[in-house]
Structure 1
Amino acid sequence: MVARMSRRWFMSGAALVVVAAPLLVPSPAMAAPPRPDMVTVDSEEMDPAIAVRAKANPDLFEAVLSQVDWLATAKGQTSSPKAANLGPKFTVVVHIGEQPKQTYDLYPLAAGGPRAFRPAKQPDKRKTTNAWFYGRLNMSETLRAAGVPLPERPETLHGGIGGGERVFDQDTLNPGRDLDKLLADLREVLLLNGAVVLAITLGLAGISLLVRRRTR
């Protein structure tokens, strides 16, 4: 009797494992979506296009990808600039495997700062809209590091949250010039204070002289 009950429990447990096994295996729909592993940069002046692969150069790949990965779902930040103010255009295409998924146009030398454009027509056929954005300030140097023929811009300082860098004028970073200016300003303040004290002293002396004459 005990053996028969044990056999039944064993058979019930085995059947439960067979039924539940497919539920324990993660389905393809639940698996994490594949990440981009290559970006290409192209323009009318470049032949062939530059390809940056995650495996070959992960740091450079992440740097170039960071220029455009936030544009996929972002809302437009600016109206369409004048074409004459945009400068050269560089098209960045994001790939997964060998399949292009996203495409964006970057204008690192645009007047007033870098610009980025997201076209409504995307390689992966997803629905989106045309939109213009303010690009990151290190766009030019990042593309240049990838091999894009752009002029060097050493005034662009890297580091900052989310790619937000600050651009300083060369004079701003000159402590000697600032010290000289500080001393000159201090000298002017001292001279001005001295002139005020002298004027007050002469005024008091004149008043004292007038009072002495009237009291005689």
Structure 2
Amino acid sequence: MVRLVKRLILAAAGVLLAAVLTPALAEPAHAAGAGTAQGGAGRAGGGPAQAAPKPKAPPAGVDITGHQLAEPLRLRAATHPAEVAAVIDQVNWLSRTGAAAGPKPDDLGPKYTVVVLAGDVPTQTYDLYPLALGGPRVYRPAKQPDPAHRAKAGWFLGRLNMSETLRTAGVPLERQLDTVSGGGGVGGGERVLPDESLKPGKDLGEAMGELQRLLLLNVGVLVAITVGLAGIALLIRRRTR
């Protein structure tokens, strides 16, 4: 019986030691891996890190033409920043490849052409169909005003708030009461996940905190078990004398 208790004490002590030493050994390894990655990045760059390229200036405005518009809507970021940003948000997420065919012409509804400007120079153009059957649609022509913006022609599902965005910008459309407002991903609508949940640094910190608390709890349990086994061993040893 005494030997069995001693073996249990040794086993518990070994588990406790492993639980305490594992995080300490993992951190240097992680630091070494990070150092190696940074060193490799420095060698690949051939010397000191180069300055990151300057971000492109935001578009200066948009022109909108289409159904029941006697003249183009000319929105500029200097005077209508919110409207310009909202209209560009309808097309700035498009992937490189869209569908080859769209809905039937009779199902498209009114068409509105959006031209994105850099300064006074047209750079991109898109056809928007906010009232298309089955949901808003966007068509990106292959021929773009700026040769630098080469793209494949394609059809895309539009954001659900396309009609309200265009109406707010000045397009004569009836108000859509069932439209979900806000930004969102493909197909429109608000994000299902809040912005805070998309921050990996915050999630990683919370996960590490939970891991540390769990580790401390396990260590506490192991210490309690070890103390209990030691007490039992001591009691048995006294009785067997």
Q: Would you call these one fold, judging by a TM-score over 0.5?
A: yes
Q: CA deviation at 1:45?
A: 2.9
Matched, 1:100 2:128: no
Match of 2:92 in 1: 69
Matched, 1:165 2:189: yes
Q: CA deviation at 1:30?
A: 4.3
Structure 1 contact 67–136 (Cα < 8 Å) conserved: yes
Q: CA deviation at 1:57?
A: 1.9
Structure having greater relative contact order (Cα 8 Å, sep ≥ 6): 2
Match of 1:39 in 2: 62
Could you state the TM-score of these two structures normalised by the residue count of structure 1?
Answer: 0.59
Q: CA deviation at 1:78?
A: 6.6
CA distance in 2, matches of 1:56, 1:162: 27
Given candidates 134, 143, 159, the residue that maps to 1:112 is 134
CA distance in 2, matches of 1:33, 1:133: 25
CA distance in 2, matches of 1:51, 1:94: 10
* CA RMSD after TM alignment: 2.3
Matched, 1:138 2:161: yes
Structure 2 contact 96–151 (Cα < 8 Å) conserved: no
> Which residue identity does 2:177 align to in structure 1?
P
Q: CA deviation at 1:160?
A: 5.5
Structure 1 contact 78–133 (Cα < 8 Å) conserved: no
Q: CA deviation at 1:77?
A: 4.5
> Which residue identity does 1:139 align to in structure 2?
M
CA distance in 1, matches of 2:176, 2:104: 23
> Which residue identity does 2:66 align to in structure 1?
S
CA distance in 2, matches of 1:106, 1:90: 5
Trace 1:129-208 onto structure 2 (pairs within 5 A): 129-159=152-182, 161-162=184-185, 164-165=188-189
Q: CA deviation at 1:136?
A: 0.3
Unmatched segments (≥5 aa) in structure 1 = 1-25, 167-216
CA distance in 2, matches of 1:150, 1:105: 16
CA distance in 1, matches of 2:182, 2:66: 27
